[in-house]
Amino acid sequence: MSGRIDLMGDAALLVRWPAELAAAGAPLAAMAALQREPLPGVIDLVPAIDSLLVCFDPLAVDREQLTVRLQMLAAHPPLTGLPAGRDVTIPVRYGGSDGPDLDEVAAQLGLTPHDVITLHTTTEQRVLMIGFAPGYPYLGWLPPELHLPRRATPRVAVPAGSVAIAAGMTGIYPAALPGGWHLIGRTDITLFDPAADPPALLQPGDRVRFVNAEAQSGPRRLTQRRKAGQGAEGETQRRKGRRGRKEV
């Protein structure tokens, strides 16, 4: 059981892994290996659920050396070498108008709403990829008790900050968007800020824990640890001090 490599134009290669290796973290592990020992000419690494896109400068890269390295990673991804990532805590208001699907999700899974919240908040999840929309994180993996397919009928508009689950993963909507995942809660954090560096709050490899905001002594916002920066950018961020990088 090993991955495959596909040429994507003249400046990228796509490494794909079968489901078992992908679920074990092969894309993130391969990304981390290439970050630890970078090859000249490689300019970007973009992980997805079961693949890693390796972008390179065709005038600067040694194509043969890169291909050999990727073949090794496709066949033997270093699954014990996942990226360190950051520890990020995200407060969520579960159920009610913030999580309109919570009761239905619980019924489908044969659980109580409290069980769903407990399982979701006690599971550390990795950011597997950023996709669908700027700043939209796919996090996994959820325990089998929380696995269920997407909704039969997607919503035309999902509110920004909605926390949703489907296909063994959690997603957080960075803006009002259409969506077919089950909405179990909502957070006040800002997931995407084009004026920040980087614009996306979460990055592949980050470790995320959700906490039940209702169970806390009072409302808590995530305090973003984006660098304050200098000049106008720093002033903009100070004015927007409600944004949070991670909660510690």
Q: Give pLDDT, residue 214.
A: 87
Q: Answer yes or no: is pLDDT of 154 > 80.
A: yes
Average pLDDT over residues 44-65: 97
Q: Give pLDDT, residue 68.
A: 96
Q: Answer yes or no: is pLDDT of 230 > 90.
A: no
Residue 201 near residue 191, CB atoms below 8 Å: yes
Q: Amino acid identity, residue 71?
A: Q
Q: Answer yes or no: is pLDDT of 244 > 70.
A: no
pLDDT tens for 162-208 read 999 999 999 999 999 999 999 999 999 999 999 999 999 999 999 99
For 14-44, b/e burial (b = at least 16 CB within 10 A) is bbbbeeebbeebbbbbbbbbbeeeeeebbee
Of 1.25.40.10, 3.40.30.10, 2.40.50.140, 3.30.1360.40, the CATH number of 4-75 is 3.30.1360.40
Domain boundaries, the chain: 4-75, 87-239
Residue 57 near residue 43, CB atoms below 8 Å: yes
Q: CATH for 87-239?
A: 2.40.100.10
